[in-house]
Amino acid sequence: MIKNGIARIMMGVHNLSESLAFYRDIIKMSVVSDHPVDTETIEQLWNLPQGTTGRAVCLKNEEQTTLLELIEFKPHSDKFIRSDANTWDYGLFTIAFRAKDVDAAYHYFQQQGYKFICPPITYTPNWVPVTVKEAIMVGPNETPIALIERLSEPKPVIKGDFGILLDSSQLVADMEEVTKFYVDILGFNKVFDKALPDGMIDNILNLPAGTQSRMAFINQSGSNNPALEFIHCSVKGEYLSDVAKPPNLGLFAITFQTDDLSALIAKLQSHDIKIISGPVICSSNQEKAILVEGPNRVNLQFFEQYQ
């Protein structure tokens, strides 16, 4: 029903030129499209006021089909989705890139004026016997970006300084809701779901000392696109759903392609999943799309291509 995992990761941006200078020029993703967002998507799918406009630029790497979609709205709100949030607040959190040398990236981005949620930290996770070094920076549009270097052999071949998108993470209030939606309804594969050793990610996420954490990775079998990462913490967070939407700035939705939107709608409705809007014909992408309130009130977009 879903084709090849995550289709697009959607981000509202303050200035496209600045964002492209990061993702295209530094991360070395390639621009694959640049177009105005159609009125139907803006007004009917995203429920933005009449007269709002948007320009969307999609980027990708050579190895994956997932697109990073940067959208500059006019007018935008100047509100950064995660500017006032704690790291454990519920909603979309990071996008993660593989890095060739996290220490070098850390020093480079510090010199460029970027701040870090955590400096490089070396650890061996309990979900895979691989030692990694990870840092989380505050990237353009105050979006948290994880940079992850594999230290164990065999190390992946990375042509430049940065490689593939590893995952898109979310902080969640209810892990069982996540499993029901992504595994039971969408048919995805749960790769890992366990409580983490005490303190393993406290420093990485700036969690209060003594926080108990649980992590799950979910993907679509056979896809090499980024996984969905879910983190549940014992410290109670706040939902970001009121601000995690366009035209605000930062990550606001994850998008999936389906080969049968009508069947998917029927299945979602049978499980009482809230469809926020649609189906809407989105002419700029030649898509028919719906916007759904996913687990933990995260915006998810599903579309079917049409000719």
How many CA atoms lie less than 13 Å away from 253 in the CB half-sphere? Answer: 26
- What was the pLDDT predicted at 71? 98
Do 156 and 163 meet the contact criterion of CB atoms below 8 Å apart? Answer: yes
- What was the pLDDT predicted at 1? 84
Do 44 and 278 meet the contact criterion of CB atoms below 8 Å apart? Answer: yes
- What was the pLDDT predicted at 34? 97
Q: What residues are paired with 55 via a beta bridge?
A: 36, 72
For residue 128, give the DSSP letter. Answer: S
**Residue numbers of the chain with a pLDDT score lower than 70:** 307
- What was the pLDDT predicted at 185? 97
pTM (2 d.p.): 0.95
Whose CA is closest to 20, among 77, 70, 92?
A: 70
- What was the pLDDT predicted at 200? 85
Structure tokens at 161: 């300084």
- What was the pLDDT predicted at 183? 97
Structure tokens at 229: 């990462």
Residue 307, classified by CB atoms within 10 Å of its CB into exposed (0-12), middle (13-18) or buried (19+), is exposed
Q: Which domains does the chain have, with CATH numbers?
A: 2-80+240-305 (3.10.180.10)
Contacts of 280 (CB under 8 A, 6+ apart): 40, 41, 44, 45, 288, 289, 290
Q: What is the pLDDT of residues 55-104, one digit of tens each?
A: 999 999 999 999 999 999 999 889 999 999 999 999 999 999 999 999 99
d(CA 289, CA 255): 10
**DSSP states along 182-209:** IIIIT--EEEEEEEPPTTTTHHHHTPPT
By DSSP bridging, strand 162-172 and strand 91-99 are antiparallel
d(CA 85, CA 81): 8
Whose CA is closest to 229, among 153, 102, 121, 127?
A: 127
